[in-house]
Amino acid sequence: MSKVLIAFFSRNGQNYVNGSIKNLLVGNTEVVAGMIKEIIGGDMFKIDTVKDYPADYTQATNVAKDELSAKARPELTAKVDNMDEYDTIVLGYPNWWGAMPMAVYTLLEEYDFSEKTILPYCTHEGSGLSGTEREIARECPKATVRGGLSILGTNAGSANKSVESWVNQYEDYRS
């Protein structure tokens, strides 16, 4: 049986939801990560940065925009000690400025994903996957990157059926 790692970057606190700023106790991407764990099991790894993003939504998005422009690679608070043991990586992230948060790139560049299967998903408020599947494939050329799932952040809490349908189309984690 394949060993699954659900690695995700998620930001709680102030978030843009359905046209306004709302305070989320749990970020949308983490909500979906929990659903995935309930459906297929696996281990969870939260991609978190040493330097916290500002609590204010606008300030946080400005930092994210600056990181994107600089192609920054923020330092992460933790590492996956046993990455070699995982066959399938479910990779979750919000879509920030049409891209993955730069912390996700840090993770992708720190490990060898050769011969692993990556199932990407993102939460967003209108921009979908924005080519992030291609970016993951470029960063991990020896991995198999499957078709991703995009979930409108506003709908993250009620996306169970979409999430279940998406993960069940791939048998990689069940082999």
What token pair was written down for 127? 């921009």
pLDDT for 172 equals 60
pLDDT confidence tier of residue 26, bands split at 50, 70 and 90: very high
pLDDT for 2 equals 78
Asked if the model's pLDDT at residue 88 lies above 90, the reply is yes
Strands 20-24 and 13-17: antiparallel
Q: Could you give the CA distance from residue 6 to residue 8 in angstroms, rounded to a whole number? A: 6
Asked if the model's pLDDT at residue 100 lies above 50, the reply is yes
- Give the number of other CB atoms < 10 A from CB of residue 160: 12
- Please give the C-alpha separations between residue 173 and each of 14, 37, 60, 119, 167, in angstroms, as whole numbers: 34, 12, 35, 10, 9
- Over residues 90-94, the mean pLDDT reads 97
- Over residues 148-169, the mean pLDDT reads 94
Asked if the model's pLDDT at residue 174 lies above 70, the reply is no
- Grouping H, G, I as helix, E, B as strand and the rest as coil, residue 43 is strand
- Over residues 71-90, the mean pLDDT reads 96
- Phi first, then psi: what are they for 35, rounded to 5°? -65, -45
**Entry pTM:** 0.95
- Grouping H, G, I as helix, E, B as strand and the rest as coil, residue 144 is strand
pLDDT for 20 equals 85
- Over residues 156-172, the mean pLDDT reads 90
pLDDT for 19 equals 82
| CATH architecture for segment(s) 4-170 | 3-Layer(aba) Sandwich (3.40)
Helices (H), the chain: 28-40, 57-70, 102-110, 132-139, 160-168
pLDDT for 91 equals 98
Contact predicate 121/150, CB 8 Å: yes
pLDDT for 104 equals 98
- Over residues 95-109, the mean pLDDT reads 95
Asked if the model's pLDDT at residue 58 lies above 80, the reply is yes
Asked if the model's pLDDT at residue 175 lies above 60, the reply is no
User: Residue 70: exposed, middle, or buried by beta-carbon count in 10 A (0-12, 13-18, 19+)?
Assistant: exposed
